[in-house]
């Protein structure tokens, strides 16, 4: 039997996933009280959440749950990484990619079972340009879409697809030079994903067989492709067949330096949040730096 988690922190993001959360706090509190747990709530404001959360976590909690999407899960993951407090996730975002990769149920009541029925997994995390990421980061087309999405008012998958369709025809792929601890690659790319995990919240499998706990990450490259190749490429991305395309390549490593010749900064999305980082972008894996609660059936 795993140790009982009694003092639970729930980090609630009021805007994630465009989901009405007015009843959520009462639902979680009732669920925990019924099982002899104490639930405390922390509300994100989108401004100084990491610093406030770190201060709040000086109180002794047995677990910290992110109730939101990938950005909220990443926030809580960063706040607890390197400590003994495990991350739990109640998926309440638009994509919920990390929770899906971990086999966490997408239904709230089922995910709440993690408060008393769980296994612990220890995961690697990434440092990208000195910033934290737990799941996926990327440079190129998807980073641009994530930035446009972030600047707009609409949330949800439909808004993301609408922006991607608008931007696709005018998009100019950049040239990159990548030096890893194992090899050097240079060329044009439509996008490149720095992957600790496998699958985007959209269910695109960008890094088949990638492991969250192998001490390595993958750089998954998609080369520029003609419009006629787009349906076939998308099919491969949705059927875990990334490596079979003529337009893809994956580099596995522990450290990498990614540069865009001539640029002073590079637009990077980290766990769904856009950032402009200094060029070159230095990436490294931090093995075993995050403890997470997963359903016993999903533990390996």
Binding site for ligand ATP (CB under 6 A): 13-17, 44-46, 68-72, 93-96, 155, 201, 272-273
Q: Which of 71, 53, 49 is nearest to 150 (CA)?
A: 71
Q: How far is the CB of 218 from ligand ATP (least distance, A)?
A: 21
Three-point CA angle 268, 258, 272, nearest 5°: 20
> Closer CB to ligand ATP, residue 93 or residue 105?
93
Q: How far is the CB of 208 from ligand ATP (least distance, A)?
A: 21
* SS3 of residue 56 by DSSP: helix
Residue 163 to residue 227: CA distance in whole angstroms: 17
> Closer CB to ligand ATP, residue 90 or residue 174?
90
> Closer CB to ligand ATP, residue 189 or residue 205?
205
| Residue nearest to ligand ATP as judged by C-beta position | 69
- Residues 206 and 195 sit within 8 Å (Cβ to Cβ): yes
Q: Cα separations (Å) of 250 from 154, 223, 224, 257, 281?
A: 33, 11, 15, 15, 18
Residues in contact with 149: Cβ distance below 8 Å, sequence separation at least 6, in sequence order: 155, 159, 160, 163
Q: How far is the CB of 201 from ligand ATP (least distance, A)?
A: 5
> Closer CB to ligand ATP, residue 72 or residue 248?
72
Three-point CA angle 198, 202, 204, nearest 5°: 45
Q: How far is the CB of 84 from ligand ATP (least distance, A)?
A: 24
Tokens of 6: 């009694």
> Closer CB to ligand ATP, residue 162 or residue 255?
162
Q: How far is the CB of 273 from ligand ATP (least distance, A)?
A: 5
Q: Cα separations (Å) of 167 from 42, 68, 92, 126?
A: 36, 27, 27, 28
Tokens of 133: 């990421």
Q: How far is the CB of 74 from ligand ATP (least distance, A)?
A: 8
> Closer CB to ligand ATP, residue 236 or residue 275?
275
> Closer CB to ligand ATP, residue 93 or residue 140?
93
Q: How far is the CB of 59 from ligand ATP (least distance, A)?
A: 21
Q: Cα separations (Å) of 24 from 5, 52, 111, 160?
A: 20, 22, 13, 26
């Amino acid at each position: 039997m795993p140790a009982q988690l009694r003092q639970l922190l729930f980090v609630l993001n009021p805007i994630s996933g465009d989901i009405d959360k007015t009843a959520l706090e009462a639902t979680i509190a009732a669920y925990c009280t019924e099982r002899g747990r104490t639930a405390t709530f922390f509300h994100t404001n989108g401004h100084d959440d990491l610093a406030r959360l770190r201060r709040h976590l000086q109180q002794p909690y047995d677990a910290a749950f992110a109730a939101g999407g990938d950005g909220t899960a990443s926030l809580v993951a960063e706040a607890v990484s390197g400590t003994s407090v495990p991350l739990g996730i109640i998926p309440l975002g638009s994509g919920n990619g990390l929770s899906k990769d971990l086999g966490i149920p997408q239904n709230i009541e089922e995910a709440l079972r993690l408060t008393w029925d769980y296994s612990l997994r220890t995961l690697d995390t990434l440092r990208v340009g000195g910033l934290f990421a737990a799941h996926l980061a990327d440079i190129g087309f998807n980073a641009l879409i994530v930035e446009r999405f972030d600047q707009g008012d609409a949330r949800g998958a439909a808004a993301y697809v609408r922006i991607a369709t608008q931007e696709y025809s005018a998009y100019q792929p950049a040239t990159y030079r990548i030096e890893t601890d194992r090899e050097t690659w240079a060329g044009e790319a439509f996008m490149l994903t720095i992957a600790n995990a496998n699958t985007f919240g959209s269910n695109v499998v960008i890094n088949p067989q990638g492991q969250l706990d192998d001490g390595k990450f993958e750089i998954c490259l998609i080369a520029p492709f003609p419009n006629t190749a787009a349906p076939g490429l998308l099919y491969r991305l949705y059927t875990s067949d990334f490596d079979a395309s003529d337009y893809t390549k994956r580099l596995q490593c522990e450290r990498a330096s990614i540069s865009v010749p001539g640029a002073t900064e590079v637009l990077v999305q980290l766990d769904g949040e856009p950032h402009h980082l200094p060029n070159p972008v230095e990436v490294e894996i931090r093995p075993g730096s995050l403890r997470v609660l997963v359903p016993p059936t999903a533990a390996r």
